[in-house]
């Protein structure tokens, strides 16, 4: 019987006869979780009843031994193979798989007997609608980001003219020894016939032979290298991603390569000289008959059967179960970073403890990151390498902008995002989000920023706005803020019934957002004076900034001075607890104003924060560049979905905002409610009584 908290599946075992599978397939246990827990079997004696199946990799010698053992014991055999969205890099270079195919019928690269994918396609109309919808969404992602099985090369440069003059025809080579070649009824002669047919059928075309990535990496041999040279056919041997190249083609010729299905996904006609699992269904021009494949599924059904139903996925960020869409989005984020941060990025203005974390955010397989302290040398290095200079925006040296402009070196400014961490940056807590701004920076209203331009000009579609609304609800429901600090303790606001209640958040006075966005206010004291003058009858609650409370930054107001203007000073408390207790927030440029807007509070700004000037706040200072009137969800979409980039603090991998929301929710202080709240009050009362009694004994 399963132990407490253990599912029946975890009590079942899957026998593995090859020790190599355990170290070659990282995450094997997680891939097989739906079948059982993998255990090694010697093959010499019959396993116990807890072993419900035997698994092996493909159809090579160790797997054939496992197949014979499974038949001898009367157990089903499960074939394990690389999945169709395998990884961001090549398996031959040691990149672990993010997906595998599990098949208890056969193996997908053998034309006969039927595999699980083939069985699904023969009855394709029974594929659940949810799987078909997931397949359609997956294909859209694959087209938009040029995602394939391997994603080890940069995309074709948009400025490249390949396929834009003469029609491009690609003939795909494969590696010798690939099991899909014999399984798909192909031999060396068929590869030569394919090449000759492509030459004969496409006169005047730009015909090229595409070499397999493993051949480019020097790991294996192909079939068509010598034949192409003998026929004067150029090789397409550039290190560019296959989907981005295939998308330019007028036709693609394959034997059995998955490249054919990836070309179909990109909308390109495909001719097959072998019998891969996606041929014979009416979607390809087939040069070998497959009369047993009588069904006529559409491409959605083929992708659903292969990518959604046949594959098992790992969550790249360590979650219990992955999905095809999750892995595709992960690969898309890596590809975006690869492209955006290619080349040399020289970083300035960072304390040494932030260097490793910045490398993670700026990681690119086609780029490198270095750090500098001298402006002249940093600019010289960036210019020499055709790179750019990136600076922590709040620590940019005087004259840096002009020096970069004079040298013709792009200047990027980097800052924390708006959902940062559980804990303060000044306490060396790692950030889960950053912004990279090529125009300015969001807290500097003296010039435009990428965020301001985005908010002024972006076309926010319905999907983005729906995500923004969902994100806003999640942030409010879970009580999230930028830093998620302060104890979620009870707070009592001493206002009279019906009295107007205003929260005034303090800020770090030497912070760049105050120096640049509110120099006319006079700091925290000037803000309190302005709020009291504007609302003499209101009950004003002043909350010092967490960094100031912690003694790490400037901006403290003596308590007696603060209480001369405010009615109450609240410290060491999460600002989330205060949002439910006040009617308005008055601020210079604090992010608390943005967080209050998300919760439906009225916000008055005395400076020029990024969220002012769009018609959502009562602004005491004009921002004439901001002419557009935004909805709250448009503001949230720009500030939290489109402007920042997110990174998992544990793995260093890029992630999306939803992953960060889950991380912060798990770690953020939670308010005490109900019985727990009353219990804590009782404990505090008991502690106070005990301290009083001890004091009496001492006296």
| pLDDT at 560 (0 to 100) | 92
Please give the structure tokens belonging to residue 383: 């210019």
Tokens read off for 180: 């899909």
Q: Which one is predicted more confidently, 318 or 438?
A: 438
What is the phi-psi region of residue 676: left when phi exceeds 0, alpha when psi lies from -120 to 50, beta otherwise?
alpha
Q: How many other C-beta atoms lie within 10 A of the C-beta of residue 568?
A: 18
Tens of pLDDT, residues 477-503: 999 988 777 665 678 999 999 999 999
Other Cβ atoms within 10 Å of 460 Cβ, number: 20
Find the range with the poorest average confidence among 367-381, 433-447, 541-555: 541-555
Q: Classify the C-alpha dihedral 175-181-187-192 as positive or negative.
A: negative
Residue 22 is predicted with a pLDDT of 72
**How does strand 343-348 pair with strand 388-392?**
parallel
Query: What does the pLDDT look like over 540-552, one tens digit per residue?
Result: 999 998 777 777 6
Question: Are 386 and 344 within 8 A, CB to CB?
Answer: yes
Question: Both 256 and 173 in a single domain?
Answer: yes
pLDDT value for 424: 66
Same domain, 183 and 266: yes
pLDDT averaged over the chain?
Answer: 90
How far, rounded to the nearest angstrom, does the alpha carbon of residue 516 sit from its chain's CA centroid? 32
User: Are 253 and 237 contained in the same domain?
Assistant: yes
- Please, what's the b/e burial string for 570-608 (b: 16 or more CB within 10 A of its CB; e: otherwise)? beebbbbbbbeebebbbbbbbbbbbbbbbeebebbbbbb
For every residue of 370-438, which 3-state class applies, written as one string? EECCCHHHHHHHHHHCCCEEEEEHHHCCCCHHHHHHHHCCCEEEEEECCCCCCCCHHHCCCCCEEEEEC
Q: What is the pLDDT of residues 14-45, one digit of tens each?
A: 999 988 777 778 888 889 988 999 999 988 88
pLDDT tens digit sequence for 70-87: 999 999 999 999 999 998
**Does residue 3 have a pLDDT over 80?**
no
Q: At what angle do helices 375-384 and 400-407 cross, to 10 degrees?
A: 30
Question: What sign results for the dihedral spanned by CA atoms 506, 511, 516, 521?
Answer: positive
Does residue 641 carry a pLDDT above 80?
yes
Are residue 692 and residue 643 in the same domain, yes or no? Answer: no
pLDDT at 484: 74
> Among 353, 595, 636, which Cα is nearest to 483's?
595
pLDDT of residue 34: 85
Three-state SS for 169? Answer: strand
Percent of the chain exceeding pLDDT 70 equals 92
Query: In the numeric block, which tokens belong to residue 72?
Result: 């001898």
Q: What backbone phi and psi angles, to 5 degrees, belong to 346?
A: -100, 125
The CATH number covering residue 548 comes to 3.40.50
Select the more confidently predicted residue: 279 or 427.
Answer: 279
Contacts of 639 (CB under 8 A, 6+ apart): 418, 451, 455, 594, 610, 611
The pLDDT confidence band at residue 92, using thresholds 50, 70 and 90, is low
Integer Rg of the chain from CA: 31
Of 276, 297, 318, the residue at which a domain comes to its end is 297
pLDDT greater than 90 at residue 297: yes
Which residue in 328, 344, 326 sits closest to 336, CA to CA? Answer: 328
- φ, ψ at 14 (rounded to 5°): -115, 120
pLDDT (0 to 100) of residue 246: 98
pLDDT confidence band for 668 (50 / 70 / 90): low
Confidence of residue 319 (pLDDT cuts 50, 70, 90): confident
Check pLDDT > 60 for residue 651: yes
Q: Is 441:413 a contact under the CB 8 Å cutoff?
A: yes
Q: Which residues pair with 15 in a beta bridge?
A: 39, 54
* Same-domain pairing of 576 and 687: no
SS3 call for 328: helix
C-alpha closest to that of 322 among 55, 596, 31, 567 = 31
Asked if residue 689 belongs to a domain, the reply is: yes
| Residue pair 332/348 in contact by the 8 Å Cβ criterion | no
β-strand pairing of 433-437 with 411-416: antiparallel
Residue pair 172/252 in contact by the 8 Å Cβ criterion: yes
Residue that terminates a domain, selected from 297, 320, 347: 297
Same domain, 661 and 564: yes
Q: Are residues 682 and 540 in the same domain?
A: no
Find, among 267, 263, 209, 275, the residue nearest to 236 by Cα: 209
Query: Do 694 and 582 share a structural domain?
Result: no
| Same-domain status, 632 and 680 | no
**Residue 388 in domain:** no
In a domain, 481, yes or no: yes
pLDDT tens digits for 626-640? 999 999 999 999 999
Q: What pLDDT sits at residue 614?
A: 98
Percent of the chain with pLDDT over 90: 75
In a domain, 685, yes or no: yes
Domain membership flag for residue 477: yes
3-class state of residue 279 by DSSP: coil
Average pLDDT over residues 98-115: 93
DSSP string, 173-238: --BTT-HHHHHTT--HHHHHHHHHHHHHH-TTSEEEEEPPHHHHTTS--BSSHHHHHHHTPPEE--
φ, ψ at 498 (rounded to 5°)? 85, -5
Top mean-pLDDT range of 94-108, 463-477, 662-676: 463-477
pLDDT(164) > 50: yes
Buried b (16+ CB within 10 A) or exposed e, 346-373: bbbbbeeebeebbbbbbbbbebbbebbe
Residue 505 main-chain phi, psi, to 5 deg:
-85, 130
Q: Write the pLDDT tens digit of every residue in 602-614.
A: 999 999 999 999 9
Number of domains the chain is built from: 3
- 554 shares its domain with 681: no
**Do the domain assignments include residue 629?**
yes
Domain membership flag for residue 634: yes
Contact (Cβ atoms closer than 8 angstroms) between residue 175 and residue 136: no
Highest mean pLDDT among 217-221, 347-351, 419-423: 347-351
Can you give the pLDDT at residue 427? Answer: 64
119 inside domain: no
User: In this structure, are residues 222 and 215 in contact, taking their beta carbons and an 8 Å threshold?
Assistant: yes
**Strand pairing partners for 208?**
170
Q: Which helix (H) or strand (E) holds 40?
A: strand 37-40
The winner for highest mean pLDDT among 53-57, 294-298, 396-400, 417-421 is 294-298
- Which residues, 6+ apart, have CB-to-CB distance to 438 below 8 Å? 410, 411, 412, 413, 450
The range of the structural domain enclosing residue 689 comes to: 674-699
CB contact at 8 A, 209 and 233: yes
Q: Of 254, 281, 297, which marks where a domain is finished?
A: 297
CA angle 7–13–17, rounded 5-degree value: 160
210 with 176, same domain: the answer is yes
> 597 and 663 share a domain?
yes
Find out whether 626 and 449 touch, Cβ atoms under 8 Å: no
Largest separation between any pair of C-alpha atoms in the chain = 107
Q: Are 658 and 470 in contact (CB under 8 A)?
A: no
Return the half-sphere exposure (C-beta side, CA atoms, 13 A cut-off) of residue 239: 13
CA 484 to chain centre: 22
Q: Are 288 and 274 in contact (CB under 8 A)?
A: yes
**Ranges 16-20, 512-516, 682-686, most confident:** 512-516
Contact 124/185 with Cβ under 8 angstroms? Answer: no
């Amino acid at each position: 019987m399963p132990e407490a908290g253990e599912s029946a599946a975890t009590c079942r075992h899957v026998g593995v006869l090859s020790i190599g599978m355990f170290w070659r397939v990282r995450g094997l246990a997680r891939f097989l979780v739906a079948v059982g827990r993998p255990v090694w079997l010697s093959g010499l004696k019959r396993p116990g009843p807890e072993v419900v199946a035997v698994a092996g990799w493909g159809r090579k010698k160790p797997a054939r031994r496992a197949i014979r053992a499974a038949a001898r014991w009367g157990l089903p055999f499960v074939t394990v193979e690389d999945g169709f969205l395998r990884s961001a890099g090549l398996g031959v270079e040691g990149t672990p798989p993010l997906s595998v195919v599990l098949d208890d019928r056969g193996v997908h690269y053998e034309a006969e007997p039927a595999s699980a994918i083939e069985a699904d396609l023969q009855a394709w109309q029974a594929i659940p609608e949810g799987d078909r919808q997931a397949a359609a969404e997956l294909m859209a992602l694959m087209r938009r980001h040029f995602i394939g099985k391997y994603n080890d090369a940069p995309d074709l440069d948009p400025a490249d003219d390949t396929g834009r003059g003469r029609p491009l025809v690609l003939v795909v080579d494969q590696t010798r020894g690939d099991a899909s070649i014999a399984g798909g009824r192909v031999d060396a002669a068929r590869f030569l016939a394919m090449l000759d047919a492509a030459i004969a059928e496409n006169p005047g075309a730009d015909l090229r032979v595409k070499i397999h990535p493993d051949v480019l990496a020097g790991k294996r041999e192909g079939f068509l290298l010598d034949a192409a040279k003998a026929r004067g056919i150029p090789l397409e041997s550039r290190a560019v991603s296959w989907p981005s190249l295939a998308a330019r083609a007028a036709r693609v010729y394959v034997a059995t390569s998955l490249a054919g299905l990836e070309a179909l996904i990109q909308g390109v006609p495909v001719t097959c000289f072998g019998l891969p699992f996606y041929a014979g269904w009416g979607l390809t021009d087939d040069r070998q008959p497959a009369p047993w494949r009588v069904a006529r599924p559409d491409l959605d059904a083929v992708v659903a059967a292969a990518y959604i139903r046949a594959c098992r996925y790992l969550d790249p960020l360590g979650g219990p179960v992955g999905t095809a869409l999750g892995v595709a989005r992960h690969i898309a984020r890596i590809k975006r970073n690869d492209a955006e941060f290619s080349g040399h990025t020289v970083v300035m203005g960072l304390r040494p403890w932030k260097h490793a974390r910045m490398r993670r955010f700026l990681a690119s397989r086609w780029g490198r990151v270095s750090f500098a302290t001298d402006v002249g040398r940093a600019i010289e290095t960036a210019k020499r390498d055709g790179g750019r200079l990136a600076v922590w925006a709040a620590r940019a040296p005087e004259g840096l902008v002009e020096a970069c402009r004079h040298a013709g070196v792009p200047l990027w400014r980097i800052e924390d995002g708006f959902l940062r961490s559980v804990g303060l940056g000044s306490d060396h807590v790692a950030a889960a989000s950053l912004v990279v701004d090529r125009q300015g920076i969001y807290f500097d209203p003296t010039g435009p920023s990428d965020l301001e331009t985005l908010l002024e000009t972006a076309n926010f579609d319905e999907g983005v706005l729906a995500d923004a609304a969902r994100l806003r609800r999640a942030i409010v429901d879970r009580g999230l803020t930028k830093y998620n600090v302060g104890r979620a303790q009870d707070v009592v606001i001493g206002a009279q019934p019906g009295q107007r209640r205003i929260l005034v958040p303090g800020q770090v006075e030497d912070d760049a957002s105050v120096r640049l966005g509110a120099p006319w206010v006079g700091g925290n004291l000037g803000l309190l004076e302005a709020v009291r003058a504007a609302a003499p009858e209101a009950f004003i609650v002043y909350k010092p900034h967490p960094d100031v409370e912690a003694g790490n930054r400037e901006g403290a107001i003596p308590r007696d001075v603060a209480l001369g203007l405010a009615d109450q000073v609240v410290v060491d408390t999460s600002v989330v607890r205060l949002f439910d207790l006040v009617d308005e927030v008055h601020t210079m440029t604090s992010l608390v104003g943005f967080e209050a807007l998300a919760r439906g509070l009225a916000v008055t700004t005395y400076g020029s924060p990024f969220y002012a000037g769009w018609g959502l706040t009562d602004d005491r200072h004009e921002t004439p560049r901001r002419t557009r009137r935004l909805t709250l969800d448009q503001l949230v979409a720009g500030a939290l979905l489109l402007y920042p980039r997110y990174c998992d603090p544990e793995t260093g991998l890029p992630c999306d905002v939803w992953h960060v929301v889950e991380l912060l929710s798990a770690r953020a202080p939670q308010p005490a409610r109900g019985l727990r709240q009353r219990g804590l009050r009782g404990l505090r009362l008991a502690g106070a009584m005990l301290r009083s009694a001890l004091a009496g004994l001492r006296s």
